[in-house]
Amino acid sequence: MKCSWDTHPLPPTIFSTRSSKAEAPVVARKMLEAIQLSIGILTTSKPIVLVTGANGYIAGPVIEAFLKAGYAVRGTVRSKSSADPLLRALSSYDKDLEIVEVPDIVASGAFDAAVKGVHAIAHLAAGVSLSFTDPEPVLEVAIQGTLGVLESAITESSVKSVVLMSSIASIINGSKEAPARFTEADWNDEALAAVKKLGKESPSPLIYAASKVASERAFWKFRDERSPSFTMTALNPVFVMGPQPGLESISKIGGTTAFIWQILSGQDIPKPLTPNPGYVDVRDIARVAIFSVDHPDKVNGERFLLASGLVPPQAAADVLRKAYPERQDIIKAGNPGQGYFPGYEFPEERFLDASKAVKVTGQDFYPVEQTITDTAKSLEKFL
């Protein structure tokens, strides 16, 4: 799986972060000129939400949800063409949706033009890969990309709230002895310490976890040191599944949702991504993001662990065989009922407590079965 910010190579003399210090002012000026040229003309009285990383899996449902909630959306991508499928899927909102290019999210002032006139920011742009080998550039993008958004936001008086898409990887750690209950009070700082020690010997999942910790730590440090006028909130979801607007090819399916397609299409039931894979519906992430913008007084300075249940592939196979009786000869049975608990509860030895999000928003998560079947229905067109 390629890293989302490494799929559109840039001309090294224009946008590369490897440019020399002497070239930096020229690089920054050319980059900002390119952004200014690509900024659309949202002529709307609706409040505008800036969504970074608009071509990502989570971003699609988040953008769609903001549009349905009455917001206009400005999405950023490294290459405009990468958002074409999303634009086609959301064409009915063409007057309230624009896509702009931010070729290098770690360049100085990268988001200065994009934040102009926006009411809120949902920072989703991040690298996700199972093949990271060197933690240094990954950590740089994670930290500087987040700080870059905040530095631009603090110069724009219209910005009222910033929502960071963090991860469960910033919370769950191995230092707690079982039985362990993880909440928003927990941090996985040991991941960051480990990659600093191991360097290029760090395994990819550890590098990813460290990048999420580093990004979110930088986010909260900015709040503590700069006291911005806008509110700041972090969302920490587990693995994500759910319908993906703009999915035109099964090869582009969100990585953590691919197992639903594998099972639905009759492939072997894959192994879990982790021993106890937690999942949350992408629409729940969108819902909490909107809540954070709509109710800034209730979420300022808060983290929200987002998880609906423990869902190994076997659980999905059991649900899909029941939901698609006509495909029981196609969908593999595996070992029905094994590897998970009734109600998709997390095991007591490593329990993820997502009750805070339910309490604050006043709404529960999508039922696991509905998330699985809705995801499958959205993929039927590829059968």
Please say if the pLDDT value at position 8 is more than 50. Answer: no
Dihedral sign, Cα of residue 171, residue 172, residue 174, residue 175: positive
Give me the mean pLDDT over the 46-51 stretch: 98
Q: What is the pLDDT of residue 130?
A: 59
DSSP code at position 217: H
Q: What is the pLDDT of residue 127?
A: 65
Which band of pLDDT confidence, cut at 50, 70 and 90, is reported for residue 104?
very high
β-pairing verdict for 309-310 and 278-281: antiparallel
Please say if the pLDDT value at position 358 is more than 50. Answer: yes
The torsion defined by the Cα of 279, 281, 282 and 286, in degrees rounded to 10, comes to -120
Please say if the pLDDT value at position 15 is more than 80. Answer: no
Q: What is the pLDDT of residue 178?
A: 87
14: left (phi > 0), else alpha (psi -120 to 50), else beta? Answer: alpha
Domains present along the chain, CATH in parentheses: 4-242+280-308+348-367 (3.40.50.720)
β-pairing verdict for 239-241 and 278-281: parallel
More confident residue, 284 or 276: 284
More confident residue, 129 or 140: 140
Q: What is the pLDDT of residue 132?
A: 74
pLDDT tens digits, residue range 206-255? 999 999 999 999 999 999 999 999 999 999 999 999 999 999 999 999 88
More confident residue, 17 or 80: 80
Please say if the pLDDT value at position 16 is more than 70. Answer: no
Q: pLDDT over 90 for what percent of the chain?
A: 83
Q: Cα(376)–Cα(360) distance, rounded to whole angstroms?
A: 30
Q: pTM here?
A: 0.88
Give me the mean pLDDT over the 54-67 stretch: 97
Give the least confident one: 21-35, 111-125, 255-269, 294-308: 21-35
pLDDT tens digits, residue range 308-340? 999 999 999 999 999 999 999 999 999 999 999
Residue 290 phi, psi (nearest 5): -65, -40
Q: What is the pLDDT of residue 133?
A: 82
Bridge partners (DSSP) of residue 236 are: 305
Q: Identify the residue whose tokens are 């934040």.
A: 115
Which band of pLDDT confidence, cut at 50, 70 and 90, is reported for residue 20?
very low
**Residues in the chain, how many?**
383
DSSP code at position 92: G
Mean pLDDT of the chain: 90
Please say if the pLDDT value at position 289 is more than 90. Answer: yes
Q: Cα(50)–Cα(139) distance, rounded to whole angstroms?
A: 23
More confident residue, 252 or 29: 252
